[in-house]
Amino acid sequence: MDINESSPLLTCRNAENTAHFTGYADDIPPIKGVNDFYTQFAAESKKLWYLAAPMIFTTVCQYSLGAITQTFAGHVGTLDLAAFSIENSVIAGFSLGIMVGMGSALETLCGQAYGAGQIDMLGVYMQRSWIILFVTALLLMFFYIFATPILILIGQTEDISRLAGKMALWMIPQLFAYAANYPIAKFLQAQSKIMAMSSISGVALVLHAFLSWLLMLKLEWGLFGGAMVLNFSWWFMVVAQMVYILSGTCGQAWSGFSWAAFNNLWGFVKLSLASAIMLCLETWYFMALILFAGYLKNAEIAVDALSICTNIVGWAIMIAIGFNAAISIRVSNELGAAHPRTAKFSVVVVVFYSIIVGCFLALLLIIFRHQYPAIFADSLEVQQAVYALTPLLAVCLVINNTQPALSGVAIGAGWQAVIAYINIACYYIFGVPLGLILGFAVDLGVTGIWLGMLTGTVVQTVILVWICARTNWDKEASMAGERIKKWSG
């Protein structure tokens, strides 16, 4: 296909392509009056929830794999729970942040290319991302191999470090499943093929829950059984999604393996690194929270309590990531199709729903504050510590349900590099030092650490809202057109 013919500028031919591929033939007209706003809000809500609902289900299912293993580990023993929490939050969390972050470059390119009608480039982009992520996984594997000395070096107790290091070795297959899965996910998301991902993730979750109970508790394999089930569940999703793609359901988007995947790899690496830095800084922020708790008095109880809270926040964030993926698809598709007003309005709608859902989840937590700690741990000390953190946890659910949606806007528009700088300032120059001061100098313990770091997230969220409000969306649509020309060439 000639580049000039596939340009996202508003030519007659491209309008036909856009209508065919995205279902949106024209940009929305300027909104005049309350009735006009309500009509457009209802229409955009329908489009958003069509994407968000199955994506929320998918992300909750995928996150629940580790969360279920962590829950069963809490019934194996407190040391097992602490070791799995450290491995899952620090070792796997570090790697997951890099993998998801580098994969988000694919989210920007695939989404905008799909909106512009350049369907044949999606498969090439996915293969480029595979190459980069598998090489990255090979490098990250050493982090798994030397997990025990690394954890001891950063101050974790020897017992927790040794067991977490052993767990990390067992989890190396999951690392390579991450490398395979996230490019596939972005490839399918860009085409709005969400139901297939949801179905596969749902089946994986059911199998995972049963096998985890069987191996970890019934057969008493403990953490080794949990690791084997986690590896199986992630590779099951990868294989099932590839079968779906290879069956021909993606049409022009997948035309087979191509040598074109090796073209412009360095440029793709640079774009992926910018995306990785943006998302890694967010993922590692929670990882740091668990690490700092390990330096407190009675570290095992502190780590257990905080890991349960971050587990719950993680489930809530998976709902928010459903909005993140949906708004990324909406913004990237509409910018690629040169529909700036539609892209801007979709941001308003997603922020509204993310706040409402966050408040609902916080209310549920407060209502069941006496019951939920026992689900995650048998220790009364741990349960009491979790109960004490409930008010802060409720506030965190509201903030952390809104922030990922705004990050999705950034991914859809291709702002990863700018947001990375904002994350550094808000999280690590402001949030982390404030948390350490409140936690250790003011002696507020876990509550102080979390309160300081939550403040950093609030500041970052306010800045993202301000950026979205000040954005020239016509200019963003023009930049999307230039980006598509560059990467398709």
- For residue 415, what are the CA distances in angstroms to 35, 92, 466, 477? 33, 26, 14, 13
pLDDT of 8 reads 31
Read off the tokens for 160.
């927790």
Cite the DSSP H helix spans in 213-339: 222-244, 265-293, 299-336
pLDDT of 20 reads 37
Q: Angle at CA 205, nearest 5°, toward 202 and 210?
A: 135
- For residue 13, what are the CA distances in angstroms to 16, 116, 117, 315, 435? 5, 11, 10, 44, 55
- d(Cα 67, Cα 269) in Å, to the nearest integer? 31
Which of 262, 227, 283 is CA-nearest to residue 100? Answer: 283
Read off the tokens for 105.
């470059």
SS3 assignment for 326-376? HHHHHHHHHHHCCCHHHHHHHHHHHHHHHHHHHHHHHHHHHHCCCCCHHHH
pLDDT of 173 reads 95
The alpha carbon of 52 is separated from its chain's Cα centroid by a whole number of angstroms, namely: 13
Residue written as tokens 């694919």? Answer: 106
Read off the tokens for 3.
């580049």
> What does each of the 489 residues of the chain score in pLDDT, given as a tens digit?
333 333 333 333 333 333 334 444 467 887 788 888 899 999 999 999 988 889 889 888 887 888 888 888 878 877 888 888 888 878 888 888 788 877 777 777 888 888 878 888 888 889 988 998 999 999 999 999 999 999 888 877 888 889 989 999 999 999 999 999 989 988 998 888 888 999 999 999 999 999 999 998 888 888 899 899 999 999 999 999 999 999 988 888 888 888 877 877 777 777 777 777 777 777 677 767 777 777 777 667 777 787 788 778 877 877 888 888 889 889 988 888 889 899 999 999 999 999 999 999 999 989 988 888 888 777 888 888 888 888 888 998 898 888 888 988 988 888 888 888 898 899 889 988 998 899 888 888 878 888 888 899 899 999 999 999 999 999 988 888 887 777 665
Helix (H, G, I), strand (E, B) or coil at 212: helix
- For residue 206, what are the CA distances in angstroms to 213, 268, 410, 444? 11, 36, 33, 40
Read off the tokens for 269.
């690496």
Helix (H, G, I), strand (E, B) or coil at 297: coil
Exposure letters 283-295 (e unless 16+ CB within 10 A, then b): bbbbbbbbbbbbb
- d(Cα 191, Cα 110) in Å, to the nearest integer? 8
pLDDT of 488 reads 62
